[in-house]
A and B are shown apart, each in its own frame.
Chain A
């Protein structure tokens, strides 16, 4: 009994120090592509359920994850239920649920196709929810994408957790099982886009987007224009809305891995527009994209 307790005490001291001072973990040496390929296969053959802990940079939240019944086979994602109550008032909204659902729907196939934009590196294994996990680091090849660390079950190849990193290596979002059940089940993967597919070019497409992000959706009404871009792994949406008053307050915020930036921009016709970008990209990239949007209704 004594030795594990001493180990725990050492872990306590190490973690306090590491959490405060240590830099991002250095990259591994070999490619983690085989681990990610195994995960791709596993997502079709296995489902995971249990309890999940999520840290979004502000708070620690817990969720219950259940496998989706076969009757709703059209949607491959798991059922996620938030267990926490934010500030004792409201149940957590969709933001955390979307993140946790990625444990069952991570766009692995798209990730493997997007190796022009992402590199794959090994990292040291660890234990998650009492199971041995291999580590695969997904490193963006330019500063306009976020990075990922994936924890894959060493025996069943199921996704046990992931971390989303800022380009600096800082953690934006952390999701992992604290208790997990891995089931053998045939279920379809969610659709992933062909990143080479573009649709009709929108008039207001930003003058600049990072390489690899292509227009996936272009919806226009008389009160809003919404464009969505994706590199297959991450995506962002741009909303263009006419506003009556240029004094509308704008700002920037980050919600876990998601960045939101909005600006008031004067269109060519002299009207003012609220232009908002929301997506899982670095804040600096979001700002730069937004600078190139010229509204015109």
Chain B
């Protein structure tokens, strides 16, 4: 993508393009699949930041996530799930239940969001950088014993999939948050049913 085209794209996204620039971007996006995808991603994140939550936006978002997931699935070799992983034997930073969607979508969306955010605020990268430069996509880690696992990238890092554990953890987390991590105990809150009632196997 040329610098001139980048500027035209930026102008269109900022609603600041003149007729010539708009036509130029539309012509290019009709011919260039990569540019069109970039344009769609930017538009999507822009709509998020502007709180445009129409059904079409939501469909677009799900579609974006699905495309990212599919592209990553292709890149991951399909290795049979045979290895049994014990929790203490697995590297702490190893496994991720939601890795394919998580890292990919986060990277794409965060970078695009950053671009749009600073594009719209007009601040320079120097003044804007501190909040973002320390934000690598964060892995969601799930390491489960007696769970099926596979070596994702040949480095010994394993991926486990155990939906029951994730669901149970979500219930515990909800209960933990209901109490409030930084507030005094509230008898009315702790009296509610606890996750123990629905312990998954």
**What A residues does B128 contact at CB under 8 A?**
11, 126-127
- A7/B124 contact (C-beta < 8 A), A60-B106, A94-B177, A217-B185 known: yes
**What A residues does B92 contact at CB under 8 A?**
283-284, 287
**What A residues does B106 contact at CB under 8 A?**
55, 57-60
Main SS at interface, chain A: mixed
B182 to A169, Cβ gap below 8 A? Answer: no
In angstroms, Cα B124 to Cα A178, docked, is 17
Asked if B19 CB lies within 8 Å of chain A CBs, one says no
Q: Mark A88-131, 1 if CB is under 8 A from B, else 0.
A: 10000111001000000001001000000000000111111110
Interface-centre pick from B59, B132, B143, B185 (highest chain A CB count, 10 A):
B132
**What A residues does B127 contact at CB under 8 A?**
124-127
**What A residues does B140 contact at CB under 8 A?**
57-58, 253-255
**What B residues does A135 contact at CB under 8 A?**
130-131
> Residue of A at shortest CB range from B147?
A249
In angstroms, Cα B183 to Cα A219, docked, is 16
In angstroms, Cα B195 to Cα A236, docked, is 15
Q: Mark B119-158, 1 if CB is under 8 A from A, else 0.
A: 1011111011111111111111111111100000000000
Q: Mark A125-157, 1 if CB is under 8 A from B, else 0.
A: 111111000010000000000000101000000
Kindly specify which of A29-37, A40-48, A201-209, A227-235 makes contact with the partner chain: A227-235
Kindly specify which of B24-32, B71-79, B168-176 makes contact with the partner chain: B168-176
> Residue of B at shortest CB range from A130?
B121
**What B residues does A250 contact at CB under 8 A?**
87, 144-145, 165
Q: Which of B81-105 contact A (CB under 8 A)?
A: 87, 92, 97-98, 101-102, 105
Asked if B35 CB lies within 8 Å of chain A CBs, one says no
Q: Closest CB of chain B to A137's CB: distance in Å?
A: 9
- A57/B102 contact (C-beta < 8 A), A51-B51, A151-B131, A278-B176 known: yes
Asked if B22 CB lies within 8 Å of chain A CBs, one says no
A-B contact count (CB 8 A): 303
Q: Closest CB of chain A to B14's CB: distance in Å?
A: 8
A191 to B135, Cβ gap below 8 A? Answer: no
Residue among B49, B110, B162 making CB contact with A249, cutoff 8 Å: B162
Asked if A12 CB lies within 8 Å of chain B CBs, one says yes
Show 23 A/B contacts (Cβ-Cβ < 8 Å), sorted by A.
A1-B16, A6-B7, A7-B125, A11-B125, A15-B129, A16-B111, A19-B107, A53-B113, A59-B106, A94-B174, A107-B183, A126-B128, A172-B138, A192-B183, A193-B184, A235-B181, A236-B176, A237-B175, A247-B146, A247-B201, A249-B145, A253-B140, A276-B169
Query: Using a CB–CB distance below 8 Å, which chain B residues touch chain A?
Result: 3, 6-7, 10-11, 16, 45, 48-51, 53, 58-59, 61-62, 65, 87, 92, 97-98, 101-102, 105-107, 109-111, 113-115, 117-119, 121-125, 127-147, 160, 162, 164-166, 168-170, 172-185, 190, 194-197, 199-201
Query: Using a CB–CB distance below 8 Å, which chain A residues touch chain B?
Result: 1-2, 4-12, 14-16, 18-20, 22-25, 51, 53, 55-60, 62, 64, 83-85, 87-88, 93-95, 98, 107, 110, 123-130, 135, 149, 151, 161, 163, 165-166, 169-172, 174, 176, 178-179, 190-193, 216-217, 219, 223-224, 226, 228, 230, 232-237, 239, 241, 243, 245, 247-255, 258, 260, 262-263, 274, 276, 278-280, 283-284, 287
Using A53-B113, A253-B142 as known contacts, list a sample of 19 further A-B pairs with CB atoms less than 8 Å apart, ordered by residue number in A: A5-B10, A15-B114, A15-B132, A18-B132, A51-B51, A55-B110, A57-B139, A94-B177, A94-B178, A98-B177, A127-B127, A165-B134, A169-B134, A170-B134, A193-B184, A239-B196, A247-B201, A251-B160, A258-B173
